Structure formats: C-alpha cells, structure tokens
C-alpha cells in the first residue's frame, strides 16, 4: 500500500503539548500525486483560450508563461488569473537565456496582471548559471525535460532537488508526450511515487497559435487526458505550477501542534517560518487529526472562519492555512457553550459574556450556537430552544 500521509513527530516545544498522531497530507485532499500543465509563449491566442475553457470545464487550473514584449493580451491575462490560473514569466524578449530579464519581466507582469508573478519558465530551457536573480524574484523556475540534464522527469513527493531547475515533460511534436496514453502513463508514474509531474506545452494543432508555433500538441490527446484526470480526482491533484510549489514548501516547513484541550474542544496551531519576502505562503494544507474519544461529530474553525470538516474512519479531515490563526475543534454539542456536559442557563451567561467582549477563541466559537459567524441574541434564543427541547442537543439539563 502506498504511503499517503506524512507523520509529524512533535516534541514538547515552547509550551505546546507533544503529539504524534496528527498528519499533514502529501498532497491536498489526500491525493496520491500532483499534475501541472504549463504553457509557454502565451499571448491570449485562440489555442490558449481553448485550453483554458477545457480546463475550466473540470475546475482544473494551469500556468501560462508570458513573454512580456510579444504583445500578450493583458486583458486576457488578467481574466484567466482572476479565474485561478497562473500567469508566470517567460522573460521580456525570449533571449537565449534570461539575460538579466528575471526582475524586469516579473515587474511588468505584476503591473499588468495585478497579481504576484512567482514563477518563471526559462527561454529555450536555459537555466541561468547564477541563480541569485531567480531566488530574489521567484519561488521556482522551470526547465524542459529533466532527463536532458541528468534529472528525473517526474519528481517525488518533496519536489525537485533544485527549485530553480524544476523539470517538465515536453508535449507535442517536439517532445515525447503525444497521445492520451502518453500523458496518462506519466500521471501513473507520479501516482506510484506520490510525486509531481509537470507537462510543458505551447499551442495545439488545428488552432491559431500566435507566437506559440513550436511543437503543437494534439487537441484530442489533451481532452482525453483531462477526462481521465477528472475520473481520477482522488488520485491526482491538478494544480498550477505556483500552487504545487507552495504546497510542497509549506508542507515540508510546517508544524502542527496541539495547544490545549478538554472533553469538548481542542485548539491546534499550524505554523511555519518560511520567508515571506516574495510570497505569503498561505496555501491551505490538508490535515488529519484523530477524532477525540467520545466525540461523534465535530465543527472546526480557524480564527473567525468556519472550516468544512469530514469525520471518517475515526479521524477528522480539513484544510487549514499555516499561520492563519488557532484551529479550534468543537465536539459539536450544540448549546453547551461552557463545555460542562449540560445545556442550561449557565451557557446563556457565557453567551452574554462573549457579547460583552469576554472569553477566549474557543469560548467565542462555542458561543456561536447558530453558526452564523457572530455572537448575539440569536444565540441566546438558540440555547433556550435547546433547553426547551426544540433543537437537537446531546445533553440537556432539566
């Protein structure tokens, strides 16, 4: 059986409680592998818009690398970026190598698109020998086939050995990936190693490709691959180049620690110390925590935000943002605000205290009895209803 999770071994540190059972998923939503589609020479031409529409049909997102001086449609770039796709840099002028265009192309894209430009695909696949400019401006850089440089074409769960030489698998007439079976075979390799596969594309045969005329890919092969990925969502997380980098780096750097607990609540903290000069490093991580003994249901919040959670096979599963605030798990006993095992007038008193600005984050979460993200007289009414038997609760005091 393939290993699906990374166990986090916690020691007593800075007053936190030591734990060993909680885990952070290798990939979001407990997928076995990550799959990324990248497109070079993007200008908003017919072929790339066609790809966006097919990806969006399945809710998949991709990365489009732009040469800033090749007159890309910035309206198109902004539109696809706002829709969750990534606009990355492919330099200003597509020289033989970057030629010092790392920073200038990044600035140009950010000014036009209105979002951070965090990754680059090197012109002609030529990574710079000196990586200082890359590390000062980007969280990752993409080369072409790793096998051309003695690097594996498909990465393992921890990503590449060098984040500024991330390999891809070139597709179309200039690469080795031409059919749906070719794409799927690479995806299966990634699944087998809990790894990450990146595909490198330009345009498509039979469509207007603008400047992206190199190595056109087959439309049917691409559509067949998307259909297969849709059928195998539990195994493959389809993500942008940026998001996959963020998830791996955050997962490797994060610590999940339990700060406090009682019979009715637990408070956890998910943190890392990644440098935020370039990136906020706030992509949600998928978390598994054992369901506390005696609990049959749970609700989860991080800070003031309610988080969707699933209870399955004795564990609680949810997504949380590193450094996004305390993660509070509540037993789900409606109305038992003070967590004493009964619902009575004492719980109304606690709600009133919270309305007056008193109480810690756990208490404030419990006082939101009707789950509307505020604590007010409606929550007092909800407690009264529970006491009167009008609303379901686990325990009510006569």
Nearest one of 277, 274, 225 to 247, comparing CA atoms: 274
How confident is the model at residue 388, as a pLDDT? 84
DSSP secondary structure letter of residue 83? T
How confident is the model at residue 341, as a pLDDT? 59
Nearest one of 265, 314, 259, 319 to 291, comparing CA atoms: 314
Name residues of the chain where pLDDT drops below 50. 1-20, 392-398
pLDDT digits (tens, 9 = 90+) for 201-255: 999 999 999 998 999 999 999 999 999 999 999 999 999 999 999 999 999 999 9
**Cβ atoms within 10 A of the Cβ of 130, count?**
8
The rounded distance, in Å, linking the Cα atoms of 103 and 198 is: 24
How confident is the model at residue 333, as a pLDDT? 67
The dihedrals phi and psi of 268, each to the nearest 5 degrees, come to: -120, 160
The rounded distance, in Å, linking the Cα atoms of 41 and 174 is: 15
pLDDT digits (tens, 9 = 90+) for 143-196: 998 888 888 999 999 999 999 999 999 999 877 899 999 999 999 999 999 999
Which token pair is 115? 């979002």
**Cβ atoms within 10 A of the Cβ of 97, count?**
15
DSSP secondary structure letter of residue 229? H
How confident is the model at residue 361, as a pLDDT? 67
Any idea which residue has 């000062």 for tokens? 136
**Cβ atoms within 10 A of the Cβ of 230, count?**
14
Q: Which residues of 262-295 are buried (b: 16+ CB within 10 A; e: fewer)?
A: eebbbbbbbeeebeeebbebebbbbbbbebbeeb
């Amino acid at each position: 059986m393939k290993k699906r999770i990374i166990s986090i071994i916690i020691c007593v540190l800075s007053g936190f409680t030591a734990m060993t059972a909680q885990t952070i998923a290798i990939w979001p939503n407990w997928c076995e592998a990550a799959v990324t589609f990248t497109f070079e020479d993007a200008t908003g031409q017919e072929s790339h818009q066609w790809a966006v529409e097919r990806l969006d049909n399945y809710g998949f997102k991709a990365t489009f690398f732009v040469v800033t001086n090749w007159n890309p449609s910035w309206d198109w770039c902004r539109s696809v970026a706002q829709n969750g796709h990534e606009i990355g840099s492919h330099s200003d002028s597509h020289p033989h190598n970057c030629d010092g265009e790392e920073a200038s192309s990044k600035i140009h894209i950010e000014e036009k698109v209105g979002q951070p430009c965090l990754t680059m695909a090197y012109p002609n696949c030529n990574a710079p020998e000196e990586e200082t400019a890359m590390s000062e401006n980007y969280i990752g850089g993409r080369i072409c086939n790793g096998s051309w440089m003695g690097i594996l074409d498909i990465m393992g769960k921890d990503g590449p050995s060098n984040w500024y030489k991330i390999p891809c698998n070139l597709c179309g007439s200039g690469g080795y990936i031409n059919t749906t079976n070719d794409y799927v075979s690479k995806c299966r390799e990634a699944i087998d190693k809990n790894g990450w596969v990146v595909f490198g594309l330009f345009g498509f045969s039979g469509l207007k490709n603008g400047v992206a005329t190199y190595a056109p890919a087959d439309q049917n092969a691409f559509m067949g691959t998307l259909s297969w990925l849709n059928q195998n969502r539990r195994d493959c997380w389809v993500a942008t180049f940026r998001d996959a980098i963020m998830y791996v780096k955050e997962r490797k750097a994060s610590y999940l620690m339990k700060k406090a607990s009682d019979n009715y609540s637990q408070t956890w903290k998910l943190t890392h110390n990644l440098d935020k000069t370039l990136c906020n490093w706030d992509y949600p991580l998928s978390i598994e925590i054992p369901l506390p003994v005696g609990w049959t249901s749970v609700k989860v919040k991080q800070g003031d935000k309610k988080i969707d959670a699933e209870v399955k096979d004795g564990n609680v599963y949810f997504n949380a943002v590193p450094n996004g605030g305390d993660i509070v798990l509540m037993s789900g006993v409606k109305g038992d605000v003070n967590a004493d095992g009964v619902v009575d007038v004492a719980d109304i008193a606690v709600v009133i205290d919270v309305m007056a600005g008193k109480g810690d984050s756990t208490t404030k979460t419990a006082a939101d009895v009707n789950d509307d993200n505020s604590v007010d007289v409606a929550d007092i009414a909800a407690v009264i209803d529970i006491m009167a038997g009008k609303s379901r609760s686990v325990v009510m005091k006569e």
